[in-house]
Amino acid sequence: MNSFGEIYRLTSFGESHGPAIGGIIDGMPAGIRIDLDKLRYQLQRRRPGQSTLVTSRNESDDVTLLSGLYNGYTTGTPIGFTIANADNHSSDYSTIEHTYRPSHADYTYSAKYGLRDHRGGGRSSARETASRVVAGALASQALDILGIKIYAYTSQVGDIVLPAHYTHYSPDEIDSNPVRCPDPEIAERMGALIKRVKSAGDTIGGVITGVIKGCPVGLGEPVFGKLHARLASAMMSINAAKGFDYGMGFNDCGCLGSEMIDQFVPGKYGKPHTLTNHSGGIQGGISNGEDIYFRVAFKPVATLLRDVSTVDDKGNETILHARGRHDPCVLPRAVPIVEAMAAMVMLDSWLINKTSHL
Amino acid sequence: MNSFGEIYRLTSFGESHGPAIGGIIDGMPAGIRIDLDKLRYQLQRRRPGQSTLVTSRNESDDVTLLSGLYNGYTTGTPIGFTIANADNHSSDYSTIEHTYRPSHADYTYSAKYGLRDHRGGGRSSARETASRVVAGALASQALDILGIKIYAYTSQVGDIVLPAHYTHYSPDEIDSNPVRCPDPEIAERMGALIKRVKSAGDTIGGVITGVIKGCPVGLGEPVFGKLHARLASAMMSINAAKGFDYGMGFNDCGCLGSEMIDQFVPGKYGKPHTLTNHSGGIQGGISNGEDIYFRVAFKPVATLLRDVSTVDDKGNETILHARGRHDPCVLPRAVPIVEAMAAMVMLDSWLINKTSHL
Amino acid sequence: MNSFGEIYRLTSFGESHGPAIGGIIDGMPAGIRIDLDKLRYQLQRRRPGQSTLVTSRNESDDVTLLSGLYNGYTTGTPIGFTIANADNHSSDYSTIEHTYRPSHADYTYSAKYGLRDHRGGGRSSARETASRVVAGALASQALDILGIKIYAYTSQVGDIVLPAHYTHYSPDEIDSNPVRCPDPEIAERMGALIKRVKSAGDTIGGVITGVIKGCPVGLGEPVFGKLHARLASAMMSINAAKGFDYGMGFNDCGCLGSEMIDQFVPGKYGKPHTLTNHSGGIQGGISNGEDIYFRVAFKPVATLLRDVSTVDDKGNETILHARGRHDPCVLPRAVPIVEAMAAMVMLDSWLINKTSHL
Amino acid sequence: MNSFGEIYRLTSFGESHGPAIGGIIDGMPAGIRIDLDKLRYQLQRRRPGQSTLVTSRNESDDVTLLSGLYNGYTTGTPIGFTIANADNHSSDYSTIEHTYRPSHADYTYSAKYGLRDHRGGGRSSARETASRVVAGALASQALDILGIKIYAYTSQVGDIVLPAHYTHYSPDEIDSNPVRCPDPEIAERMGALIKRVKSAGDTIGGVITGVIKGCPVGLGEPVFGKLHARLASAMMSINAAKGFDYGMGFNDCGCLGSEMIDQFVPGKYGKPHTLTNHSGGIQGGISNGEDIYFRVAFKPVATLLRDVSTVDDKGNETILHARGRHDPCVLPRAVPIVEAMAAMVMLDSWLINKTSHL
């Protein structure tokens, strides 16, 4: 249950305030040259403390790779890794040892397991996603060889929605601002909104858009292994995710068929190409060679820096005075996580597809 | 890849125009009394030809159970079953043997496998979902014993959207009309829209809402086995699904945290209860005992009864004259499929949760 | 739990006296031409009633393939199949409805599940292995393309042991006699022994040897997916199997290292070759290109045609008067099952190995 | 492929001469008090350098648990752990960087992956089994609560075979001598043989017997999840294992059915009990409540401290001058590994069996 993927498979471990988090990547193909700087760069993009828009928890998030590489190349054996938890202010959490924070996992973990490591949310903390970024960043280096490129960006914060389709934005602009929105002017408005919300002790949610380019025809499996079902499972496993759609999605699903079918025309190398792409690059669960694009909805962070009414583990009403360092908005830091999960799905799907033929 | 579930697991087989479709249900707990009439009733709800709003293909969809039951009780051994394909008009499909229907899986299956059974869409046909209804209906009989109730309904067709929250509608109204919408007046408008679209040779999409009541606290697993991630994967594996969200979802994810957190108050039997349920009954991926509710977006059916421009398998442009019998709108028949997939996820999650403790 | 394999995966269903047994084969690569006569031939080799050495139950064992093939080629979609149970003498089993046969699964199934289909042993009957022969025979047709050949033979019945190494026997001799022993003279002695034992109402066990030739270097995965561990799991899942060894096995494991290491010498195409093959074609869990050979021990059939003392399901002592039609020795009919399980492992391992590299 | 188990699942990583080995244990039930001293004790039993009969590599084998425990109890979340590799004499292995050691995995790993970490055997080193001992020792602490006890012992070294059935030996004697043989007199002869072989630069193999007591009725699943098939897979995944049998096994499988069936008689609490136990505690793949016992054959270590002829990675003949520190006989150190693998299988099977019923 702490593993993701069939062939390229991440198994992760770790709690927010234990000595370290980490994971094991199984199924990485052999012979791939790994650029550790690229890996570290992705971790820096997810790292807390990187801007004033995110939590001030200060983690260097240095990853230690313990196996699976030799002379800079993958060996085909599993890649074990750890990331130390350095800046633990566990005392910040003493107030919640016996109190259930609203809309957090405190109550559900306690009820399920009979006990929980309450410090920093324990296993339910988004700190775990650093392990996903490691697995995703390594998958990306394999996907680079295959010509598959993935990027994501913040497309909505609160009621500020990026108006145009992904095709109007350059991925090069995404990291030009701390919101990770490819329209600089809208990014500024989003950033201002996040700061305003933060100063009010409140939080805010939004939407991230993901794009996969260069995907060959044929990835995804019938009928339960549909490529978009695997992407949905991947995205919905990210902390705070509340929704996933792709292609026409929720917004255009009410249109007419005549408005939404993607006409085939002869394309390059004799392959069919579609004039439009309402399908989102996937037909019948299998990639058709067009761009894949999708959206992920993220809820506002549940920790408010205000007093909130709740119950304790004896069932009594109490007031929670939240402390700790928290993101007012998960979107900026979730962008590399969305990319990482997409990369894992794509490499895994690519490897599985190899078995469709002798 | 044709299996779904970890413990309670359906493996399905079959093409639209082969002799039969069917499946194997593994992991059904022993000692459950099976009511075959209830099973048949669910299949009738998915059956083609049940109303003027759906395809006129006429299948009795009688299921033959071949194993796993003895004297009316489950034995703990796998349940094999078949459903005959009777009303095959394969000749309707001769026109598409070498032509790729737009927004269908013809091209992607051909490209992936090098060949395809084109008749009726082959494996990509929604006919396969009859097997899911069998597995879901049997799961439901186990869930009945556990007090878990699942229902779904059509909440949007085209631009006609059911305005209120699921709590305003009675599940008893759902099957009172062929659209499967619990508001009779809106159902009538939806039905009229579907007929209008159908008579124009067009199709239309929409949204189904699903509800799970009586779910105990504790179902769902960290971190990749989150209950909503499993529901997302289940729903997105249904033909024509384009999106999934739950709780506040896409519509309210842009709200403030202070508007969206669910305050805990003391509930029955000393268990915490939430005053609101923006979380959708799941916190940290684990059920919290409140109602679970979610939405699934469905695209308009891709087969238009009009001439459409496309390409053939030689890469040449051609005109497709679609024939065959097709749904103008999948929503009415997808309702029992959504319920079936949800039932499979819930029983599986319930069984997995048993292993959390000795 | 009723599935075998990772990529090439059989899921089977069915009880001895239900309407049919069958299964679903997932993961068969697309584009393989299937010879149905070869498939039927393998089923005939396992069929009851084929000689005087085996049970007189008379099953034609015709298999009906329901999906996954089109115009004689595999399509990449799952292959569903059924085999009817025709010659059920369920009344033969009324005596064991409440009585536990010694060394059978009656008691353990009843205790595990709380109920059981007692007729013919229900799910625990070796009749289930017909489904394995289907999956194995289809896998063999893929392996033929890859140049991998598998055969097995009876190498011990009672205390009659085939004296020489597998290299001394021709696979062409195996089916020249009903014992399936490649030495005709010893086969005759084995056959006479089986008949003698049968006429005394007794049964007898022995050993089957399996051989895999033409396996390329590189199949098998570290560390839990070792090729021999997968073969062991496959063979031990066969009814009545009590032991598995490969290469030097139990008999020579007590030798010195200096007697058992396999010296490398330059082989064909610059590949290393070993002068001896005590390793059994597998080193470190991965095939090395030499022949793979292994043994499987089978116990004597537990059903004696004599009165035996036992207990009933109330815990009372009783006398069992066994009826029904039973094999006095499983070895002859188990030969094609051993081959089938080996074929499934080899094709699956070959497909998994494709994912070792981009 | 580097994971073992369905619910209680170990995923391991690490090479012999990397910075550390380790693993992640998923599926450990919550609320189990862990005694770290018992865990360390098991690691000491596997540790190199513990006696003159085993390799002189000196590893403290301290394990660092990084997650999954809180206040001494398991939390239900995954347990990540590392074990440092301290005493690496990688230079000992420079001679094999381009040379294939006979009957080792050097050639097969190189051929499969195109490259390998040659130092100390890399991933194919038995050093990886320390991770299994961690997972097994933790499983044992859960099994203790369930009353299931597991032990193993050396029952054959070279041609010295322990003559009597496991019932004649006390598990308390096993660790009274470095061979881990419960008969002190025979243990002394075995130890002398190992020393003699070692001083000749040679190695020797043998057999380990495993015993599982207190197993309840009902563990193991039809038909591919048979309890003995899972034990076989577990044991055959251990380095140097060449065979597995249980109950009557290879030695008695040639007997008559009348000699081998286990008569049921009324037992305690109204449960059937068998007068004999040739079945080895498992009938139809499911435990019957009697003792489970099995044997595992281990080959002689392949590294001889002599010059041996072999080939290099260019395909040329060469002489290998083996260096490094090696066990002359794996049996003594393999005893805790056999126990660990058995413990993992039993806990996993116990947890899976919980899902047989609502």
Q: Give the pLDDT confidence score for residue D92 in this predicted structure.
A: 72
Average pLDDT over residues D309-325: 88
D352: chain B residues, CB-CB within 8 Å: 7, 355
Task: For residue D235, give how far its alpha carbon lies from the nearest alpha carbon of chain C (Å).
Answer: 8
Measure the CA angle with vertex C146, ends C167 and C225; round to 5°: 80
Question: Which of chain C's residues have a Cβ under 8 Å away from the Cβ of A356?
Answer: 29-30, 76
Q: Which residues of B touch C2 (CB under 8 A)?
A: 24, 26, 77-78
Interface of D to B at Cβ within 8 Å reads 7, 27, 29-32, 76-77, 142, 145-146, 222, 351-352, 354-358
Nearest-CA distance D24 → chain A (Å):
7
pLDDT confidence band for D90 (50 / 70 / 90): low
Output the average pLDDT for chain C.
95
Strands (E), chain A: 3-4, 9-13, 20-26, 63-65, 69-70, 73-74, 79-84, 149-157, 160-161, 206-213, 241-246, 264-266, 272-274, 282-283, 286-287, 292-298, 307-311, 317-321
Q: Sign of the CA dihedral A13, A15, A18, A19?
A: positive
Q: Do A2 and D31 touch (CB under 8 A)?
A: no
- Pick from B157, B236, B309: which is nearest to A232 by CB? B236
Chain A residue nearest residue B243, CA to CA:
A245
Residue B178 has pLDDT above 80, yes or no: yes
Closest residue by Cα to residue B226 from D8, A281, A128, C107? A128
pTM above threshold 0.95: yes
**CB neighbour list of residue B253: distance below 8 Å, 6 or more residues apart:** A156, A205, A206, A207, A242, A243, A297, A298, A299, A300
Better-predicted residue by pLDDT, C195 or D269: C195
Contacts of D358 in chain B (CB under 8 A): 29, 31-32, 142, 145-146
Q: Which of A214, B356, A351, B79 is nearest to D351 (CA)?
A: B356
A193 Cβ contact partners less than 8 Å away, ≥ 6 residues apart: A157, A158, A160, A204
Q: Residue for token digits 């060469």?
A: D318
Q: How far apart are CA D95 and CA D220, in angstroms?
A: 47
Question: Once rounded to an integer, what is the mean pLDDT over residues D22-46?
Answer: 97
pLDDT of residue B90: 67
Whole-angstrom Cα distance, residue A150 to residue A338? 10
> Which residue of chain A has the CA closest to C355?
A351
- The pLDDT of residue D73 is 97
Q: Tell me the average pLDDT across C60-77.
A: 95
- Nearest-Cα distance to chain C for B112, in Å, is 9
Contact C29 A142 (CB under 8 A): no
CB B348 within 8 A of CB B5: yes
List beta partners, residue C314.
Answer: none
The whole-number average pLDDT for the span D6-34 is: 97
Shortest CA distance from B145: residue in chain D: D358
Find chain D residues with C-beta within 8 A of A75's C-beta. 113, 115-117, 122-123
User: Are A280 and A294 in contact, with CB atoms under 8 Å apart?
Assistant: yes
Nearest residue in D to B76, CA atom: D356
Query: How sure is the predictor about B116, in pLDDT bands with cuts at 50, 70 and 90?
Result: confident
Confidence check: pLDDT of D120 > 90: no
Taking CA–CA distances from A297, the nearest residue in chain B reads B250
Q: Which residues of C touch B14 (CB under 8 A)?
A: 66-67, 78, 80
CB contact under 8 Å between B114 and C67, yes or no, is no
From first to last of the 358 residues of chain A, give the pLDDT tens digit. 899 999 999 999 999 999 999 999 999 999 999 999 999 999 999 998 888 888 877 778 899 999 999 999 999 999 999 999 987 776 777 878 899 999 999 999 999 999 988 888 899 999 999 999 999 999 999 999 999 999 999 999 999 999 999 999 999 999 999 999 999 999 999 999 999 999 999 999 999 999 999 999 999 999 999 999 999 999 999 999 999 999 999 999 999 999 999 999 999 888 999 999 999 999 999 999 999 999 999 999 999 988 999 999 999 999 998 776 788 999 999 999 999 999 999 999 999 999 999 9
Chain D neighbours (≥3 Cβ pairs under 8 A) are: A, B, C
Instruction: List chain C residues with CB under 8 Å of D284.
Output: 104-105, 108-109, 124
CB contacts, 8 Å: C25 with chain D? none
Q: In angstroms, what is the C-alpha Rg of chain A?
A: 21
Judge contact between D190 and D182, C-beta under 8 A: no
Residues of D in contact with C249 (CB under 8 A): 242-243, 297
State whether D3 and A26 contact (CB < 8 Å): yes
Specify whether the CB–CB gap between B120 and B105 falls below 8 A: no
Contact: B13, C24; criterion CB under 8 Å: yes
Indicate if the pLDDT at residue C44 is higher than 70: yes
**Which of A131, D237, D345, D290 has its CA nearest to residue C108?**
D290
Judged by CB atoms closer than 8 Å, whether chains meet at A109 and B4 is answered as no
Q: Chains meeting B at 3+ CB pairs closer than 8 A?
A: A, C, D
Cβ <8 Å between C301 and D108: no
Alpha-carbon distance A10 to A68, whole Å?
13
Nearest 5°: the CA angle D211, D215, D219 is 115
Chain A neighbours (≥3 Cβ pairs under 8 A) are B, C, D
Asked whether the beta carbons of residue C207 and residue D243 sit closer than 8 angstroms, the reply is: no
Instruction: Give Cα C257 to chain centroid, integer Å.
Output: 32
* pLDDT given at position D182: 98
Q: Which residue has the tokens 């008689």?
A: D265
Query: Which chain D residue has its CA at the smallest distance from A22's CA?
Result: D80
C90 pLDDT higher than 70:
no
* Chain B residues touching residue C70 (CB < 8 angstroms): 115-117, 122
How many residues appear in chain B?
358
Chain A: residue whose CA lies nearest to B246: A242
Which residues of chain D have a CB within 8 Å of the CB of B145? Answer: 358
Nearest to A358 among C146, C352, C357 (CB): C146
Strands of the sheet with C79-84, listed across from one edge: C3-4, C9-13, C20-26, C79-84, C63-65
Place D61 in a pLDDT band, splitting at 50, 70 and 90.
confident
Tell me the two tokens of residue C66: 């329901």
